Structure 1
Amino acid sequence: MARSSSCSPTRRRRGWQSRRERVILAAAVLPEGGQGGARLLATALVRRECMRSWKLAVPIGALALAGCVSQQTYDQQVQQTQKTVALEQQYLALNQQLRTEIAADQVQIRQLSDRLVVTFVDEILFASGSAEMHAKGRGTLAQAVPTLAALSGHWISVQGYTDSEPIGPALRGRYPTNWDLSAARAVDVVRYLQAQGVDPTNLVAAGYGQYQPVAPNDTAQGRAKNRRIEVVLRVK
C-alpha cells in the first residue's frame, strides 16, 4: 500500500484526524534449544505525527513452530523486516526535514512497498529553462542531506521529468530536447548531493523528458505537475 506525506485541508474538514498513532511490529521467530518450540520476539515502535487517516502495520509472518520455516524463508523474513523498518525511518526523517515544503505543496513524499519517492516541483529547485539549481533549491535539498548521506546499501536515484512543451529557440543549442534538459537537471542534483557528502556509489541520475507524465499536458496545472524531480530511495 502506498502512502503520501500530503495532508489535505479538505479531508481534515471531513473529520479526518490530523494526528495518528502508528505501530510497526517487527517480529522474528527464533528456535529455543532442541525443544522444537519457538520464541517470538517483537518490538513495537509507536509514533505520533501529522498524517492522513491511514495506519501502517508491517506483518512479518510469525510461525507457531520453528520447524515450519526453512532457514532461507527465515532469512528472507528478517531481510524484509530490516528493509521495511529502514524505509519507515527514512520516511519519518524526511517528513520532518522537509515539513515546510510539504505543507506548501512543493514536496511530496510517498512510501511504497519497496521504496520512497520524494517529489520536488521543478520551480523549487530550478528557474524556468535552467539545469542549474538556484540558491533556494540548494537550500531546500540541503535539508534532506543528513538522511541521504547516512544511507548505506541504498540506491539514491535522481530522476528528471519535464512537460511536453518543446525547448525554446534560446535554449535549444544547449538542450536540444526535453530529454537533455531533464537529464542535465538530474545530474546537477546528483553532483550537489555528492559535494554535500552523499556516497557517490549510491547515486544514479536519469532523465525521462516528457515521456512519463503524471498529469495531462493540456492544462497549465497538469504541465506544472509533470515538471518535477524525483529522488527515489531503494535498498540495493
Structure 2
Amino acid sequence: MRYIKPGLLALSIAAFALLSACVTDSKYNQLDQAYSQLQQAYQGDEVEIRQLQGELRITIRDKILFPEGGYRLNAKADQVLAKMAPTLSGFKNTKVVVRGYTDNIAIGAELRREGITTNLDLSSKRADNVVDYLIRKGVSQSLISAQGMGESNPIASNATPEGRAQNRRIEVTLVGPGN
C-alpha cells in the first residue's frame, strides 16, 4: 500500500473542489444566459420564467396556447413559442421537458367525440403539440420530451374559476448543463 503525504492529499482535494466549482459555475452561467434571453423575449407576456437550482422553468397559461377546452395550438401560440425556440434550439446537452396540466373539470362531450376521455389525455395532447411545434422550429428531438400530468400537481385551488385557470398550464423545464 502506498502512503500519500497529507499535503499532497489536501492539494488534490482542493484542486478537485476548485474544478468542480468551475463546472458548476459554467453550468449555471449557461442557464443564467438562457434565463436572461427568455426574460427579454417574454416581457409583458403572460409567461412566468423561474430559475431553480439546476433548472429553468417556463410556465405558460393554457389560454395563450390553446382554444378553451382544446388541444390544438392557436395563432397566439405561434408567437409565444417562436420566442422560445431560438434559445432551446441552441442546447446540445440540456433536456427540455414539456409538461401539460389541466384543472379537475371533467372532459366535455366534444373532446370525448375526439377520443379524449380524461384530463390526462388532454394534457398529453397539449404537451405533444407543444413538443411537435418546438421540434419543427429546431429543438433537438433527442433532447425534448412531453408528459401529460392531467390534474395532478395543482398550483391553485380548483374550487374557483381563477384557481382552475392557473392550473391549466404548460411547463417547459430545462434540465442539465445548459449547453
Normalised to the residue count of structure 2, the TM-score between the two structures is 0.89
CA-CA distance at 1:169 after TM superposition: 1.6
| CA–CA separation in structure 2 for the residues paired with 1:172 and 1:72 | 58
| CA–CA separation in structure 2 for the residues paired with 1:82 and 1:227 | 34
2:62 is the counterpart of 1:100 = no
CA-CA distance at 1:69 after TM superposition: 2.9
2:57 is the counterpart of 1:117 = yes
CA-CA distance at 1:158 after TM superposition: 0.5
**Unmatched segments (≥5 aa) in structure 2:** 1-6
| CA–CA separation in structure 1 for the residues paired with 2:89 and 2:43 | 19
CA-CA distance at 1:222 after TM superposition: 0.4
Identify the structure with the greater helix proportion.
2
**Deviation readout 1:132-175 (Å, 9 max, x if unpaired):** 10111111110111111111210010000000001012212321
Match of 1:166 among 80, 94, 106: 106
**Unmatched segments (≥5 aa) in structure 1:** 1-35, 37-65
Identify the structure with the greater strand proportion.
1
| Equivalent position SS for 1:145 | helix
Q: Which residue in 2 is equivalent to 1:127?
A: 67
Point out 4+ residue stretches in structure 1 off by more than 6 angstroms.
none
Note the aligned Cα RMSD (angstroms): 1.6
**In the comparison of the two structures, how many residue pairs are matched?**
168
| CA–CA separation in structure 1 for the residues paired with 2:91 and 2:30 | 9
CA-CA distance at 1:68 after TM superposition: 6.4
| CA–CA separation in structure 2 for the residues paired with 1:114 and 1:138 | 28
**Which structure has more RCO (C-alpha within 8 Å, separation ≥ 6)?**
2
Q: How does 1:60-209 map to 2 (within 5 A)?
A: 67=11, 69-101=13-45, 106-173=46-113, 174-209=115-150
Letter in 1 for 2:117: P
Q: Which residue in 2 is equivalent to 1:21?
A: none
| Equivalent position SS for 1:117 | strand
| Equivalent position SS for 2:71 | coil
Q: Tell me whether 71-80 or 88-97 shows the greater mean CA deviation.
A: 71-80
**Deviation readout 1:79-125 (Å, 9 max, x if unpaired):** 21111111110110000111130xxxx11001111111100000000
Q: Structure 1 vs Structure 2: percent identity of aligned residues?
A: 39
CA-CA distance at 1:70 after TM superposition: 4.6
